[in-house]
Amino acid sequence: MIDFAGLETRPAQTWGAARLVPLVRAEPIRDLRLHAKIYGDEPSLVALPDKTAYTAYIPHAFVASWTDDGTPAAAYGTQLGQPLRHVGVRVRRRLARREVKNRLRFLPLHLALEGFLALHFGGPPVVWEEWSRRAIAQGLSPRAEEAYSGTQVRGLDDALRVFEIYPGQCGLLLYVGDTLASAFVVPHPEDYLALHPTLVRDLYGELIHHYALFYPARDFPAVIDETTVSSLADLRGQAVRQEREWAAFHDSVMAAGLLGSPERVQQVYRLGRFVLARFLPSFERQRENHIGETITDEAGRLAYLKTFRLSEAQCRRGYLLARLAEHDWNVQDTAAALGTDAAALGLRLDRAGFGYLLRQDVLDAYRRAKR
């Protein structure tokens, strides 16, 4: 579960298909600060500790600085007092890497995405006869997913440009076509000011790209019942009630899919009293599935959050892999658990892009059986 304690929801601002919901922190977190490091436009290759490689377009990295004794930390860029110039390094080691003591560089969103891609990456652990030689030897490699950059999502750049940042704002929930595209939370308002423009360089799923083309978002205009008002104090009470109702509605309805999303949480790095972790959803179909990464303090309070909304096809792939892994990659057992037969499951795997995992003759037999 994601805990939004300490973050207050403020009225949303809409532009085109985007609805932007600001999150304001009453008390900023001072001993952890974030800072962006801009990389060039070239694709990046990240060498992972398990000797595999992760290749993606990574426009920027975040640098987290923290202190051990709770005294205020300064963002990395502030310490240097330098503009964001960086020598383009193509090959990076690890997605989260300590730079010096008390400073960690990590690649936002890609940390979570790599977690998704590496899901059951090793392939079948038992050599059932249905799986191809390649699946046994190499697993799912190479495993690829596609996403759109924020600049390709229509209207997103304008929506972010005209958004009026609140004083004390530490986060933003971005809805496109009223479906949650991304959640972003940082520890300190100044970090937010610096990192707000990086949202347009982030990754967004196919679903978000399509929704941005079709669905304009409408404001929820305030409505005051004039029969309940007999003085200015009443009017003020009604105005305050509007804001409270919106916050309650948003947290319980609009963001509900996100808050309950994390199912498998994996701790990545420990930063003083904070923990950097990534999470995967349950891959349940017909509901929102978000992958993401968090930094939480010892009390579980959210300091940093970034999520990515999986598209339907991606959910389906995650779902199939998770179900297969549950049954040790036994096709019959999995099919039975899904309430279908082996041939249907085989074709589903094929449609999801995993046809290469099955032996060709087995797959052909499935196709014949279903014709």
Q: Does 243 bind other proteins (CB under 8 A)?
A: yes
Q: Does 221 bind other proteins (CB under 8 A)?
A: yes
C-alpha radius of gyration, the chain, whole number: 23
Choose the binding region for other proteins from 34-42, 51-59, 237-245, 356-364 (rule: CB under 8 A). Answer: 237-245
Q: Kindly tell me which residue out of 219, 312, 326, 364 binds other proteins, with binding defined by CB under 8 A.
A: 219
Choose the binding region for other proteins from 83-91, 101-109, 170-178, 224-232 (rule: CB under 8 A). Answer: 224-232
**Residue with Cβ nearer other proteins (17 or 303):** 17
Q: Kindly tell me which residue out of 167, 214, 286, 299 binds other proteins, with binding defined by CB under 8 A.
A: 167
**Residue with Cβ nearer other proteins (12 or 64):** 12
Q: Could you tell me where the DSSP H helices lie in 46-202?
A: 76-80, 110-117, 133-138, 156-162, 189-195
Q: Does 344 bind other proteins (CB under 8 A)?
A: no
Q: Does 53 bind other proteins (CB under 8 A)?
A: no
Least distance in angstroms from the C-beta of 33 to other proteins: 21
Give the distance from CA 311 to its chain's centroid. Answer: 12
**Residue with Cβ nearer other proteins (50 or 164):** 164
Q: Does 265 bind other proteins (CB under 8 A)?
A: no
Q: What amino acid occupies position 233?
A: A
Least distance in angstroms from the C-beta of 221 to other proteins: 3
**Residue with Cβ nearer other proteins (1 or 239):** 239
Q: Does 81 bind other proteins (CB under 8 A)?
A: no
Least distance in angstroms from the C-beta of 301 to other proteins: 25
Binding to other proteins (CB under 8 A) within 21-40 occurs at: 22
CB 315 within 8 A of CB 289: yes
Strands (E), the chain: 7-9, 13-15, 18-25, 32-38, 44-47, 53-56, 60-66, 91-93, 96-100, 103-106, 148-149, 169-176, 179-185, 203-204, 264-271, 274-280, 290-296, 302-309
**Residue with Cβ nearer other proteins (219 or 328):** 219
Element (H, E) at 360: helix 360-370
Sign of CA dihedral 322, 325, 327, 329: positive
Q: Which residues, including other chains, have CB under 8 Å from residue 224's CB and lie 6 or more apart?
A: 235, 238, 239, 242
Q: Does 231 bind other proteins (CB under 8 A)?
A: yes
φ/ψ (deg, to 5) at 350 = -65, -45
Sign of CA dihedral 270, 271, 273, 274: negative
Count of residues that interact with other proteins, criterion CB under 8 A? 29
